[in-house]
Amino acid sequence: MVEISNHMPTAELQALDAAHHMHPFSTQSGFTKKGARVITRAKGTRLWDSEGAEILDAMAGLWCVNIGYGRDELAEAAYRQMKELPYYNTFFQTTHVPVIALSQRLAELAPGDLNHVFYAGSGSEANDTNIRMARFYWAQKGKPEKNIIISRKNAYHGSTLGAMSLGGMSGMHAQGGVVQNVHHIDQPNWWSEGGDMSPEDFGIERAQQLEKAILELGEDRVAAFIAEPIQGAGGVIVPPDSYWPELKRICDQYDILLIADEVICGFGRTGNWFGSETVGIQPHIMTIAKGLSSGYAPIGGSIVCDEVAEVVGGDEFNHGYTYAGHPVSCAVALENLRILDEEGIVTRAREEIAPYLKEKFEGLTEHPMVGEAKIVGMMGSIALTPHKESRAAFAADAGTVGYMVRERCFANNLIMRHVGDRMIISPPLVITKEDVDLLIARAWQSLDEGMAQVKAEGLFKPA
């Protein structure tokens, strides 16, 4: 059923959008030439645009709509909370019931002694909190010079100045500068950077860069290491199996905090409640956002272990956001967590859908333009290449071919994104096997059409 909604013609909406709405991560002037696609409604795994096209959303919005679109229970939770108490803050010795209930639930869900939550409005804000909290923690312990945070190239930790500095995106660093005392090591991207090494040796080498950095910078200077269990926005870079155990050894050996950025990996995305469980680590702090409310309301936070919470709590931490622990967002998040749990959505995704998706997704490597396919739980990527054996890049700027395939996906009503020349997926956890079949069929068709274009433009050759 396609609903004809009562809105202006698409071209008029697009013109107004181009005139007044500044888009994130976009070349704004481009919108006057090609208008943005206007999304009008959604249900389950499907979006509809202003022209009535039905689109399969294999990205769950921006990696966040884990529960799927259109759950009335979440809307009703927001409505009830807005009527009861639409806003109150948690500064100045006040609190409220939704923030208490959500904190208790998160302490229950999070592994080990991660029992304390500091809220933010987004993942970026939460990572800014983490920078300040990690440094404050060491200062409280009499080591104010232990303030360097180690992160990874091509990591994404958000767009605020602090979170962006933690991230390892050089294009972002180039615009406006970075905060000091953040150090980046290389990422575990074997496909692009592994050369002749075996994936396992490469994983060890990349992990040991952390140890080298700690020794070079000095253990007494390094406050923390932050990493996504599996890099998401960097292109769903699934590390070799050897990588995380070696990182864990290093983190256990040296006196630094481990911060797991679970903004994408959390809340079922990798098959467990948290990506940390999937890769076998016990962090001191976890960054959360996105799937916490399935994107229905903005909320983020840091889940903090007992010891860090105790040290940081020993003095006034001069930090906090107006919307931290917003009652409506907390109520929505609680309802989201209730449904994910009670309907067994995380378990079903892991046990039924993820194995099916893995089998089908890995089948894409039979396509002549697809090298590796990597998938963990419900996040995956394929590497596009003109030559599989040598894992070669195309004879074009990185991302040229990825963009062409993405455009074909868009035209074929599939939201599958590109990061450089990798195509990525992160569907709602409620995706069905039929949806998976459709996803793969549309992906295959888009790859075929993309490859035809790549060949026609003479780009189907190694760089």
Decide: is 256 part of the binding site for ligand PXG (CB under 6 A). no
- 298-314 b/e with 16+ CB inside 10 Å = b? bbbbbbbbeebbebbee
- For the beta sheet containing 39-43, the strands, ordered from the edge strand earlier in sequence to the opposite edge, are 39-43, 46-49, 54-57, 414-415
DSSP for 183-209? EEE----HHHH-TTS-HHHHHHHHHHH
Q: Provide the minimum distance between the beta carbon of 188 and ligand PXG in the complex, in angstroms, as a whole number.
A: 15
Q: Which residue is nearest to ligand PXG (CB)?
A: 123
Q: Smaller CB distance to ligand PXG: residue 377 or 386?
A: 377
440, 423 contact by CB (below 8 A) = no
| 164, 152, 233, 23: CA torsion to nearest 10 | 20
Q: Decide: residue 375, CB within 10 A, 0-12 exposed, 13-18 middle, 19+ buried.
A: buried
- Given 264, 369, 405, 454, the residue binding ligand PXG (CB under 6 A): 264
Residue 66's closest CA among 434, 431, 433, 435? 431
DSSP code of 350? I
Q: Is the dihedral of CA 58, 62, 66, 69 positive or negative?
A: negative
Q: Smaller CB distance to ligand PXG: residue 289 or 376?
A: 289
CA atoms within 13 A on the CB side of 144: 0
- Given 162, 232, 377, 427, the residue binding ligand PXG (CB under 6 A): 232
Q: Decide: residue 17, CB within 10 A, 0-12 exposed, 13-18 middle, 19+ buried.
A: middle
Q: Provide the minimum distance between the beta carbon of 368 and ligand PXG in the complex, in angstroms, as a whole number.
A: 27
Q: Smaller CB distance to ligand PXG: residue 135 or 418?
A: 418
- Given 45, 103, 122, 187, the residue binding ligand PXG (CB under 6 A): 122
Decide: is 124 part of the binding site for ligand PXG (CB under 6 A). yes
- Cα–Cα–Cα angle for 278, 333, 324, rounded to 5 degrees: 105
Q: Smaller CB distance to ligand PXG: residue 152 or 442?
A: 152
- Could you tell me the two tokens for 23? 């888009």
Residue 259's closest CA among 225, 232, 236, 234? 225
Q: Provide the minimum distance between the beta carbon of 254 and ligand PXG in the complex, in angstroms, as a whole number.
A: 23
Decide: is 229 part of the binding site for ligand PXG (CB under 6 A). no
Q: Smaller CB distance to ligand PXG: residue 289 or 436?
A: 289
Decide: is 128 part of the binding site for ligand PXG (CB under 6 A). no
DSSP code of 365? G
Decide: is 261 part of the binding site for ligand PXG (CB under 6 A). yes
Q: Provide the minimum distance between the beta carbon of 424 and ligand PXG in the complex, in angstroms, as a whole number.
A: 8
Decide: is 422 part of the binding site for ligand PXG (CB under 6 A). no
Decide: is 123 part of the binding site for ligand PXG (CB under 6 A). yes
Decide: is 157 part of the binding site for ligand PXG (CB under 6 A). yes
Quote the longest CA-to-CA distance of the chain. Answer: 66
445, 413 contact by CB (below 8 A) = no
Decide: is 62 part of the binding site for ligand PXG (CB under 6 A). yes
Kindly give the pairing relationship between strand 54-57 and strand 46-49.
antiparallel
Q: Smaller CB distance to ligand PXG: residue 167 or 327?
A: 167
- Given 31, 118, 119, 156, the residue binding ligand PXG (CB under 6 A): 156
Decide: is 409 part of the binding site for ligand PXG (CB under 6 A). no
Q: Provide the minimum distance between the beta carbon of 62 and ligand PXG in the complex, in angstroms, as a whole number.
A: 5
39, 11 contact by CB (below 8 A) = no
**Per-residue binding letters, 73-112, with ligand PXG (x by CB under 6 A):** ----------------------------------------
Q: Provide the minimum distance between the beta carbon of 187 and ligand PXG in the complex, in angstroms, as a whole number.
A: 13
- Could you tell me the two tokens for 112? 């080990």
Q: Smaller CB distance to ligand PXG: residue 146 or 290?
A: 290
Number of residues in contact with ligand PXG under rule CB under 6 A: 16
Kindly give the pairing relationship between strand 300-305 and strand 285-288.
antiparallel
- Name the segment binding ligand PXG (CB under 6 A); options: 86-94, 239-247, 257-265, 388-396: 257-265
**Per-residue binding letters, 29-58, with ligand PXG (x by CB under 6 A):** ------------------------------
Q: Provide the minimum distance between the beta carbon of 232 and ligand PXG in the complex, in angstroms, as a whole number.
A: 5
CA distance 426 to 416: 8
- Given 18, 185, 289, 345, the residue binding ligand PXG (CB under 6 A): 289
Q: Smaller CB distance to ligand PXG: residue 129 or 204?
A: 129
Give the three-state DSSP class for 142: coil
Q: Smaller CB distance to ligand PXG: residue 102 or 204?
A: 102
Decide: is 263 part of the binding site for ligand PXG (CB under 6 A). yes
Q: Which residues bind ligand PXG (CB under 6 A)?
A: 62, 122-124, 127, 156-158, 228, 232-233, 261, 263-264, 289, 300
